[in-house]
Structures are given as structure tokens and as C-alpha cells.
Amino acid sequence: MDLSKYEEKYVHIKSIYGDTITGFARYEDRAFLESERGGKEDGLFIKDCLIYNSQIASIEEIKAHGTVELWTERMTLRRYHLEDAEPLHRHLGTDPTMAQYSGWNPYATLDAAQETVRQFIARYDDERSYSWVMDIDDIVVRTIGAYDYRDDRIEVGFGIVRNWQGRGLATEVLRKVLAYLTENEDIPCVTAWCASENIGSRRVLEKAGMRLVRTEKDGLSVGDRVYDKLTYEYMSPCGI
């Protein structure tokens, strides 16, 4: 069967062995799997599970909602695990720039990081709350989430480990999340905000396709600093 049409589709597979596998599919052709896995045919990866064409008894595309696993060219976007708390505290929580423009650092202590991770995991039953950890080869490099859904709008926010900044990863993953929220989740408008002096975040938002729609003079107070608050929007390309 033609498996390539299921690339980046959420699918339900029944194998010839009676197993069932559900998740986003990543297609690989025969040449790749032959060189990397010694296989003789094409197949699909569902998370870390590879199933070859001849092993598939049936496959159907289904609609996925909520915080489902996604992929970009370089990263996996997955749900939080309890063991993520320690590296998030170590790499983000102890970074003084984490809260420089927001005043918010949910990973500042190990206890705070553990509680934050537990809260994110508890919200996975809510299909309008989205929280992802991004990893590259099992190394946590950033977080991204979307929250406070109301009136057909949702707000997105992200953080990236300093050692991984400047590589275009934030833009890459934000584009993926914006597409998922508007095209798959049918949310017409995604918003984000940042301080006017946060040049890095501004560039990420703009490169990902978000548009500056409002500037609030002295609208953001962080400690003893006051910044102009910039609000960005991304509208569904489908015009929902």
C-alpha cells in the first residue's frame, strides 16, 4: 500500500500480529530503511516503533486532539515526563535570563520544577491545554505550550535552553505548533506577547509568521523594570 500519504498523519494501525499502534506517522522509504535498518521495504515510524509495509493489516487516519507527539526536522515534541523536572531546573531554572523579561520562572527550584511538571501532566486530559517538551536525541532543549483557550483564541509561550539558542530551533518548533493549533485543532487565532526589549523572542515570533497587532506603553513590569508590551497574533490560514 502507499504509506507515503500518511506522513505526519495521526493513524491507527492494526498489525498482522494482532497489535494496535496509534500516533503520528513518520514515513521512511525503502532506500533509507535499507541503509539504516537493513529492511527491504518502506515503513512508518510511530514514536520509536517502526512497522514495515508488509506488517500492516489495516491503517486508518484519525483525528488527534490535545498534546499529541509532533515532529520537526530536528526535534521531537512530546508530553512532559516526571523525570524532566531535574534537567528543566538545571538548564532553565538556574538561568538568570529565564525570567528577565517575564518575571516567571516555574523551574527556579527543583521542588517548583517538579510541581510544574505534575501540573502540566494533570492537564493532559484537557484537549484545549497544550504542553510540550522538545528533545533532540533525548536531550531536553526547550519547552512550548498553549494555554487559556477562550473566545476562539489561545496564547502560546516558549522557553529554550541557552546553549541551544541561535540555531533556529525556536522558530522551527513555533511554526509547527502554530500549524497544529490552527489547522488540526481548528483554533482561529493564536496570540503571544513579549517585552519590547526582548529582541530574540520578537524575531522568533515574526519569523514564525506572527504579526504585531498591539503595543502597550509601559504595559509590562518585571521587578524594578518596565517595558512596552508587544502582542502578536497568528490567524488560521483557513479563515476559520
171-211 pLDDT, tens digit per residue, is: 999 999 999 999 889 999 999 999 999 999 999 999 999 99
Mean pLDDT value of segment 106-132:
93
| pLDDT, position 164 | 79
- Vertex 154 angle, CA 85 and 140, to 5°: 25
Q: What is the mean pLDDT of residues 201-228?
A: 94
Alpha carbons 92 and 14: distance in angstroms, whole number: 41
* C-alpha dihedral (38, 40, 45, 49), degrees to nearest 10: -60
Q: CA 112, 117, 123, 124: dihedral to nearest 10 degrees? A: 180
What pLDDT is stored for residue 202 in this prediction? 95
Q: Give the whole-angstrom CA distance, residue 155 versus residue 157.
A: 7
pLDDT in tens, 16-63: 999 998 888 889 999 999 998 998 999 999 877 899 999 999 999 887
**Has this prediction a pTM greater than 0.95?**
no
Report the chain's mean pLDDT, rounded to a whole number: 90
What pLDDT does 236 receive? 85
- 11: β partners: 23, 61
Question: Would the pLDDT of 240 be above 60?
Answer: no
pLDDT for residue 238: 61
CA distances (Å), 137 to each of 1, 13, 48, 131, 228, in order?
A: 30, 25, 12, 19, 38
